[in-house]
Amino acid sequence: MRRGESGTYDVTAVGGETVRAFVPWPLPPKPPLAFEGRLQRELEAAVLAIGRLDGVSTLLPDKSLFLYSYVRKEAVLSSQIEGTQSSLSDLLLFELDETPGVPLDDVVEVSSYVAALDHGLTRLREGFPLSNRLIREIHGVLLSRGRGSDKEPGEFRRSQNWIGGTRPGNALFVPPPHTAIPECMSQLERFLHAEDDNLPVLARAGLSHVQFETIHPFLDGNGRVGRLLITLLLQEAGVLRDPLLYLSLYLKERRPDYYRLLDSVRHEGDWEEWLSFLFEGIRLTAEGAVNTAQRLAALFQTDRTNIESKGRRAGSALRVHESIKARPILSMPAICRTTGLSFPAASSAMDLLVEMKITRELTGKQRNRLFVYDQYLGILSEGTALPNAQRS
């Protein structure tokens, strides 16, 4: 439904130029969303897919293993949308204090995203509401290190920002003036917890994401915080028991459509088309996560069965296999710590896994060797690879 523009313009002077800054109207949209026909069917398909994802998570032998790596995949993808040149293996190496083959700022940025998500989820589990205070806290963690650490971490902006172009005067989009941010964000916070509009949770998440991106309340990091907002809202609402739904791969692959639909909401008020896009993304993402979980469970079981067939050598090898399931890239000292095996016993067991082509040594060195669980990391990394030209 095309309602016309979903906000008004505040004409201000920035740097000697007249600028039309867009100020969105409060949510929910008026007239109300039209949940009928195709949009209703897409909503129901998305809800069903999330239910399957919530169910399959209980089948995983150890959910924490999957969550550890899946959260990191989301961090890589969300950061790649913003232009970072870091891969999942780069992040895992960085967490081992190894030097990745990318600019340090890139991998620090991705690591900070993991910390920001962990902070948000921990606060929700403690009973803290999804609020502007929590959003600012998450932003503070996200920009605590590396690029953006000089862009007022944890604080709503006190100056005009813009999207595209070299200045507000030639920008593609100019968000609200900084003086409007407190009221815009207060209205958004009220909408996050509204109980009188009968909106489905997935629709509330979708509307909130666009509103947040339109307000653009921070000097930097808005895209990443806006994507986190979807995950945190679904988590707070109890849609998923575990934070397993992340949309960054879908948004990365459909980036032109994503930006076009954000503009369509702002200029035409076509919220339904945006929600149709989002519901499809939720369905595809949930189905992909179910498929990934099932493939990993099958991989772990197949490899375990093959190791068990090795007779006396199997005992230590199974312990090493459990260790590298928890962290797909590990050093020998780390394996010794997590398994309790002596260095010779752990080395012998790892040699067996290499011989069986379950693991692979990464460094080619005799000392300080690193091992990767190849197929596991390969499954997790799907969609995160950077073109060679981008890795220069």
Regarding whether 269 and 143 lie in a shared domain, the answer is yes
User: Residue 249's domain is classified under what CATH number?
Assistant: 1.10.3290.10
Regarding whether 129 and 201 lie in a shared domain, the answer is yes
- Which tokens go with 158? 């006190």
* Residue 19, domain member (yes or no): no
> Minimal CA–CA distance to 328: which of 358, 357, 288?
358
Residue that is last in its domain, among 291, 323, 344: 291
* Residue 176, domain member (yes or no): no
Structural domain of 132 = 34-161+186-291
How would you write the pLDDT of the chain (392 residues) with one tens digit per residue? 788 999 999 998 888 899 999 999 999 999 999 888 999 999 999 999 999 998 887 766 677 777 888 889 999 999 999 888 888 888 888 888 765 565 677 888 899 999 999 999 999 999 999 999 999 999 999 999 877 778 899 999 999 999 998 999 899 999 999 999 999 999 999 999 998 899 999 999 999 999 999 999 999 999 999 999 999 999 999 998 888 888 999 999 999 999 999 999 999 999 999 999 999 999 999 999 899 888 988 999 999 999 999 999 999 999 999 999 988 999 999 999 999 999 999 999 999 999 999 999 988 877 778 999 999 999 988 888 765 433 22
pLDDT at site 219: 95
Regarding whether 349 and 218 lie in a shared domain, the answer is no
- Which tokens go with 363? 């460094």
Regarding whether 52 and 135 lie in a shared domain, the answer is yes
pLDDT at site 10: 95
Regarding whether 98 and 53 lie in a shared domain, the answer is yes
* Residue 69, domain member (yes or no): yes
Regarding whether 368 and 262 lie in a shared domain, the answer is no
Which amino acid appears at position 69 of this protein? S
Query: What would the 3-class secondary structure string for the chain be?
Result: CCCCCCEEEEEEEECCEEEEEEEECCCCCCCCCCCCCHHHHHHHHHHHHHHHHHHHHHHCCCHHHHHHHHHHHHHHHHHHHCCCCCCHHHHHHHHCCCCCCCCHHHHHHHHHHHHHHHHHHHHHHCCCCCCHHHHHHHHHHHCCCCCCCCCCCCCCCCCCCCECCCCHHHCCECCCCHHHHHHHHHHHHHHHCCCCCCCCHHHHHHHHHHHHHHHCCCCCCHHHHHHHHHHHHHHHCCCCCCCCCCCHHHHHHCHHHHHHHHHHHHHHCCHHHHHHHHHHHHHHHHHHHHHHHHHHHHHHHHHHHHHHCCHHHHHHHHHHHHHHHHCCEEEHHHHHHHHCCCHHHHHHHHHHHHHCCCEEECCCCCCCCEEEEHHHHHHHCCCCCCCHHHHC
Regarding whether 194 and 144 lie in a shared domain, the answer is yes
Compute the half-sphere exposure of residue 373: CA atoms within 13 Å on the CB side of its CA.
Answer: 23
* Residue 391, domain member (yes or no): no
Regarding whether 261 and 214 lie in a shared domain, the answer is yes
pLDDT at site 147: 76
User: Residue 329's domain is classified under what CATH number?
Assistant: 1.10.10.10
Regarding whether 236 and 111 lie in a shared domain, the answer is yes
pLDDT at site 70: 83
Regarding whether 134 and 102 lie in a shared domain, the answer is yes
What are 21's strand-pairing partners? Answer: 10
* Residue 258, domain member (yes or no): yes
Regarding whether 229 and 135 lie in a shared domain, the answer is yes
* Residue 305, domain member (yes or no): no
Residue that is last in its domain, among 234, 258, 291: 291
Regarding whether 353 and 213 lie in a shared domain, the answer is no
pTM of the predicted model as reported, rounded to 2 decimal places: 0.90
* Residue 181, domain member (yes or no): no
The count of structural domains within the chain is: 2
pLDDT at site 388: 43
pLDDT at site 83: 83
* Residue 168, domain member (yes or no): no
